[in-house]
């Protein structure tokens, strides 16, 4: 019999419900992988194996009593950006490295209510700022697909994607402000969806850029993503931006056919620097969808070239405001000084890493009197144009197909993130527009490069139409037949 951790969540649930396996057995298998492999990949920054086994024992009783909560006995990893009651939550920043929340985030509470088990907290770029997990206070995550050279796992949810790929959890939570679920999922050969803005509550998730942040799952396949999103989504009175839109059963879209579905290919996404292998897979993915009955149409998203500069004005602006609360008084790390100002300065100097400081500086600059109109207000206007592009495009198509990242996973240290961040920012070219427009998008693995590294494809849907993403992604997944690690 293959290892229990090879099973997807949907397969595991079948076996759990038929009493072929027990939650304790299944959880122990994940704990073993976590304990044996974490030193190698650095995916978890906090492990809670004992807690997980205690939860598994409870799940065992639940199964004996015949209750059937949708995720009973499924062991998950949690991105360390979600507040977990009584379990250290750091955002992978020194400034929060001893912070123990008094409350649970809404999304993780939903998962617990549905019977999920938590194995620990997963590594990320500091405050989710980055695309390679190299800005984490706890060091980079190693991509489990690495061969001789250690490769990045992508970011910011690098720990989540790596842990799923290396079977150190059945699935994980992620967050996505400009690509942080999709890019690491692509780099690690797993599947992740950023739902529509407002689908999941942001309550209890450490804020990066509030108008862009969304939670979502990273899992082994499309079916598992649907199961998780069913649990994570929903209106929450604690988050005024969460949506009252009805949450459909996302699993019901799995297996639906896509005959006659119009798939848009945005011409502006054929950017300079697009890896030719990625481009070839993009064409191949379109062919696969066509073979499943979809119609391929060419579309235009004319403001694409402004997406990165717009994102890198708005995201730092919101971040600088959100991060003002870390003052050494109310949370985490405090470094004393002569008087209050010095205490602030010392705590923030010591507590924040280089990339976070850079974003605070950019953010306060673009928001300052005299520059506000030129940068921040301008960026808000362009954001609207980018959204309008999508509105126009969706008059011609039902879903959009693009690569997730223009490149394959690169070596740790390769992009010189801290010296020249622009190199890194450019990798977000296909993901940030989606957040600016508030749309849902999924990344799923399509195949391997010649070097044997995974590539991801992105499917972008209309607002609150994750269903079309799920049915299309499922068909593409079947055609691509990607072999997981």
Q: Which residues lie near ligand GLN (CB under 6 A)?
A: 128-131, 156, 176-180, 208, 315, 428
CB of 15 to ligand GLN, least distance (A): 35
* Cα pseudo-dihedral 347, 350, 351, 354, rounded to 10: 130
**Which residue number has the CB closest to ligand GLN?**
180
Nearer to ligand GLN, 130 or 144 (CB): 130
Which of 12, 136, 146, 156 is the catalytic position? 156
Nearer to ligand GLN, 194 or 462 (CB): 194
Please list, in sequence order, all residues whose beta carbon lies within 8 angstroms of the beta carbon of residue 410, skipping any fewer than 6 positions away. Answer: 132, 151, 152
Asked if 117 and 9 touch (Cβ cutoff 8 Å), the reply is no
Which of 12, 22, 79, 405 is the catalytic position? 79
Asked if 387 and 258 touch (Cβ cutoff 8 Å), the reply is no
**Catalytic residue status for 79:** yes
C-alpha span between 161 and 43 (Å, rounded): 9
CB of 261 to ligand GLN, least distance (A): 28
Nearer to ligand GLN, 167 or 194 (CB): 194
CB of 430 to ligand GLN, least distance (A): 11
Please list, in sequence order, all residues whose beta carbon lies within 8 angstroms of the beta carbon of residue 238, skipping any fewer than 6 positions away. Answer: 106, 201, 203, 204
> Please, which contacts does 55-62 make with residues 24 or more away whose CB atoms are closer than 8 Å?
55/27, 55/117, 55/118, 56/23, 56/24, 56/26, 56/27, 56/28, 56/117, 57/23, 57/24, 59/23, 59/24, 59/115, 59/117, 60/22, 60/23, 60/24, 62/115
Nearer to ligand GLN, 178 or 438 (CB): 178
HSE-CB of 356 using CA atoms within 13 angstroms = 29
CB of 132 to ligand GLN, least distance (A): 8
Nearer to ligand GLN, 124 or 163 (CB): 124
CB of 54 to ligand GLN, least distance (A): 32
Which of 180, 201, 347, 433 is the catalytic position? 180
Dig out the tokens for 121 from the structure. 């907290």
Phi, psi of 463 (to 5 degrees): -55, 135
**Catalytic residue status for 22:** no
- The residues annotated with a catalytic role in the active site are 79, 156, 180
């Amino acid at each position: 019999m293959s290892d229990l951790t090879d099973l997807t969540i949907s397969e595991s649930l079948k076996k759990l419900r038929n009493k072929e396996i027990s939650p304790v057995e299944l959880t122990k298998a994940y704990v073993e992988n976590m304990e044996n492999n974490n030193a190698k990949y650095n995916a978890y920054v906090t492990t809670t194996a004992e807690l997980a086994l205690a939860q598994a024992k409870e799940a065992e009783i639940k199964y004996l009593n015949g209750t059937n909560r949708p995720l009973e006995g499924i062991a998950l990893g949690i991105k360390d950006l979600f507040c977990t009651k009584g379990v250290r939550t750091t955002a992978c920043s020194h400034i929060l490295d001893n912070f123990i929340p008094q409350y649970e985030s809404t999304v993780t509470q939903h998962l617990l209510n549905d019977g999920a088990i938590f194995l620990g907290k997963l590594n990320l770029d500091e405050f989710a700022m980055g695309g390679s997990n190299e800005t984490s206070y706890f060091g980079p995550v190693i991509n489990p697909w690495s061969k001789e050279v250690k490769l990045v796992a992508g970011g910011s949810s690098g720990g989540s994607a790596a842990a799923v790929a290396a079977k150190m959890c059945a699935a994980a939570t992620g967050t996505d402000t400009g690509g942080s679920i999709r890019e690491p999922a692509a780099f690690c050969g797993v599947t992740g969806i950023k739902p529509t803005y407002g689908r999941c509550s942001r309550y209890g998730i450490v804020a990066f850029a509030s108008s862009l942040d969304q939670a979502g799952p990273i899992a082994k396949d499309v079916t598992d993503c649907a199961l998780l999103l069913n649990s994570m989504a929903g209106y929450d009175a604690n988050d005024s931006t969460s949506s009252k839109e009805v949450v459909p059963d996302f699993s019901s879209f799995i297996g639906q056919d896509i005959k006659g579905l119009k798939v848009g290919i945005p011409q502006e996404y054929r950017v300079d620097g697009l890896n030719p292998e990625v481009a070839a897979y993009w064409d191949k993915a379109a062919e696969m969808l066509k073979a499943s009955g979809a119609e391929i149409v060419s579309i235009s998203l004319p403001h694409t070239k402004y997406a990165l500069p717009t994102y890198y004005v708005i995201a730092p602006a919101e971040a600088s405001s959100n991060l003002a609360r870390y003052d050494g008084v109310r949370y985490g790390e405090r470094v004393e000084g002569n008087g209050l100002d010095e205490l602030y300065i010392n705590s923030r100097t010591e507590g924040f890493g280089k990339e976070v400081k850079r974003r605070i500086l950019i953010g306060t600059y673009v928001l300052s009197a005299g520059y506000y109109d030129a940068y921040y207000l301008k960026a808000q206007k362009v954001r609207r144009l980018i959204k309008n592009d999508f509105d126009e495009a969706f008059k011609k198509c039902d879903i959009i197909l693009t690569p997730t990242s223009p490149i394959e996973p690169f070596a740790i240290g390769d992009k010189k993130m801290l010296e020249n961040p622009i190199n890194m920012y450019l990798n977000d070219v296909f993901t940030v527009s989606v957040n600016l427009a508030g749309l849902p998008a999924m990344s799923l693995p399509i195949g391997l490069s010649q070097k044997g590294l995974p590539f991801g494809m992105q499917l972008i849907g209309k607002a609150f139409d994750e269903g079309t993403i799920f049915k299309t992604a499922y068909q593409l997944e079947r055609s691509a037949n990607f072999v997981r690690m």
